[in-house]
Structure 1
Amino acid sequence: MTARFGQIAFVVWRESTEALLVVAILHGWLAHHAGARVATGRYFLWAGVAAGIGGAAFLAAVILSLANLFEGDREDYFQIAMAGLAALLILQMVIWMHRQGRGMRKELERDAERALTGGNWLGLFSLAALAVMREGSETVIFLYGILASGSETHRTESIAAVATGFAFAATFYWLIQVAARRFPWSVFFGVTEVFLLGLAASLLMTALDRAIGLGLISPLSEPLWDTSWLLDDTGRLGSFIAAMTGYRARPELMPILVYSLYWIAAAALLRPARQGAAEPTS
């Protein structure tokens, strides 16, 4: 398994699991509260899921179309921008989950109740569509950022990684449902958010490396140290760790400054939310 494979599979697994969680909350609420109208509610729920997937697919087509418009250095600039955007969006998503995720279940059920009480099935449709489209759109941008951050793209490997991520998400979701009392969702969100922050750091560092390589940004120094004797970031293990954390064996001053500022900013933005942390769902 390559580092790229691990990045793609992790993103698909995490985002798909979160989307499955949203759908399961709405589906479970309908089963217990919709009564005779449960069949109608489920129809609009799954129609919303399909629309959300379609919206994410449309975004993917738009991004690929934009990428095809650029050639040479412009393509490099676009890919650097997308990798940087993906990093910032991952950071924003983690912050949002810390601040809003704990009330996600209650908010979804409250919105579903409004739709059911008012007979507004389009409201339920929109709720499902927007939730799935949000997760799907994030996945599209994250994956493009990952693919754009590398020098080569192996389609077969990428497709296999996506399929693996989906399979892991379905299996993991089932296991968590079975062991829900012993394994709260807060653990899932807490652990995966740490890995997501590392992935965002990796994308940010890769975008910075490419910008330095193109002469857009100065490295500010020669490499300040060399730990390749301990862990080479071009080796099998080292490249995987680099892909998931942004580790560099021979960093210059600019990457060190950016990497340090990223983690300082992430810690500062997440700290207030941790004081009152609670389970996002159960």
Structure 2
Amino acid sequence: MNQSMFIVWRESVEALLVIGILQAWTSQQGLGNRLVKYLWAGVMLGLLLSGLLAVLILFAGEAMSGSASEWFQAVLALIASLLMVQMVGWMHRNGRTLKFDLRRHADNHLARRGGLGLLLLAMLAVSREGSETVVFLYGAGARLRGPQLGLFAVGGVMGLVLSALTLALLHSSRRFISWQRFFAISEVVLLMLGAALLVSGTERIGGQLLVLDFPEQVYSIVGEALWDSSTLLNDSHGLGGFLASFAGYRATPSGLTLLVWVGYWLVVGGWLRQQTADNLPCPT
């Protein structure tokens, strides 16, 4: 529930922010009323494309069974993890100039294709956020069944409500939190979720490797727990369960899980430091 709520909240805020910027831009144009129709047509088409992707993914998952289904869900979880890291990197590079870039792209599309250009820009922006949401949610909720799946869906609805409240708060007052701080906090949580999805995908792959004919050393790395900290922090409920779903914590991690989790943070940390260094202004 917490995962779906955050994913939908974060992605909806970004999508609504993009729509708000484009709507403000259309109000400043001479043909503002007509352009608004193109803008919302693009939004609806973007949502339709995202919904189509969701149907295709669900259909593919249901059509597969056994080992094929496990591999499919593992790959989707790994893709979702990679997309989360890519999103954080994109915000590092473009967050400060997002409003300017969107307005510039809108000007270019309007000059080249008129209202259809604005429709295309809105469609691409919304479908990008929607497609990422679909992949993230499938990667996070693929293992859930019954009541857990229902709570996962409720979390998604709560995320939509929270996104509207967040935008209202950010627009009405910056005394509590600024856009820059909001994105910084959400980026940290996205990276934590990326680690959780990576661990989930890795464990699915490890489960499939255990049924193959490998040397005993491979089985020990993939299947045997290095330690058991469940008496101190159980990963099935409470704080441990929260950390498991949001950061990939495991009370009984295998060597493969630990290696992947530590490697993720080392690689992502180094990459983000490089991104930050590249974005610093050159000394004069």
| Same fold (TM > 0.5) | yes
AA aligned to 2:221 is: L
AA aligned to 1:220 is: I
TM-superposed CA distance for 1:104, in Å, is 1.6
| C-alpha contact (below 8 Å) 2:4/2:153 kept by paired residues | no
| C-alpha contact (below 8 Å) 1:16/1:166 kept by paired residues | yes
**CA gap 1:38/1:164 in 2 versus in 1, 3 angstroms:** same
AA aligned to 2:259 is: L
| C-alpha contact (below 8 Å) 2:19/2:122 kept by paired residues | yes
The equivalent position to 2:35 in structure 1, one of 16, 34, 41, is 41
The equivalent position to 1:185 in structure 2, one of 179, 199, 215, is 179
| Aligned residue in 1 for 2:265 | 263
AA aligned to 1:270 is: L
TM-superposed CA distance for 1:185, in Å, is 1.1
The equivalent position to 1:233 in structure 2, one of 228, 235, 252, is 235
| C-alpha contact (below 8 Å) 2:61/2:72 kept by paired residues | yes
**CA gap 1:219/1:107 in 2 versus in 1, 3 angstroms:** farther
The sequence identity of aligned pairs, in percent, is 39
- Aligned pairs for 1:181-220 (under 5 A) are 183-214=177-208, 215=210, 218=219, 220=221
| 5+ long unaligned stretches in structure 2 | 213-217
Deviates more, 1:166-175 or 1:77-86: 77-86
| C-alpha contact (below 8 Å) 1:8/1:158 kept by paired residues | yes
| Aligned residue in 2 for 1:173 | 167
Specify the SS of the correspondent of 1:220.
Answer: helix
Specify the SS of the correspondent of 1:18.
Answer: helix
AA aligned to 1:256 is: L
Tell me, in whole angstroms, the C-alpha distance in 2 between the residues paired with 1:153 and 1:57: 22
| Aligned residue in 2 for 1:107 | 101
AA aligned to 1:208 is: T
| Aligned residue in 1 for 2:215 | none
Specify the SS of the correspondent of 2:221.
Answer: coil
TM-superposed CA distance for 1:8, in Å, is 0.4
Residue by residue over 1:234-274, the C-alpha shift from the partner in whole angstroms, topping out at 9 and shown as x without a partner, is 12221111100001112122111111111111112111222
TM-superposed CA distance for 1:277, in Å, is 5.8
**What TM-score results when the alignment is normalised by the length of structure 2?**
0.89
Tell me, in whole angstroms, the C-alpha distance in 2 between the residues paired with 1:219 and 1:101: 44
Tell me, in whole angstroms, the C-alpha distance in 2 between the residues paired with 1:60 and 1:171: 26
**What TM-score results when the alignment is normalised by the length of structure 1?**
0.90
The equivalent position to 1:152 in structure 2, one of 139, 145, 154, is 145
1:30 aligns with 2:26: yes
**CA gap 1:182/1:162 in 2 versus in 1, 3 angstroms:** closer
AA aligned to 2:225 is: P
| Aligned residue in 1 for 2:8 | 12
TM-superposed CA distance for 1:209, in Å, is 1.7
TM-superposed CA distance for 1:116, in Å, is 3.9
Tell me, in whole angstroms, the C-alpha distance in 1 between the residues paired with 2:23 and 2:236: 46
TM-superposed CA distance for 1:74, in Å, is 1.3
AA aligned to 1:64 is: L
AA aligned to 1:27 is: Q
Tell me, in whole angstroms, the C-alpha distance in 2 between the residues paired with 1:219 and 1:258: 15
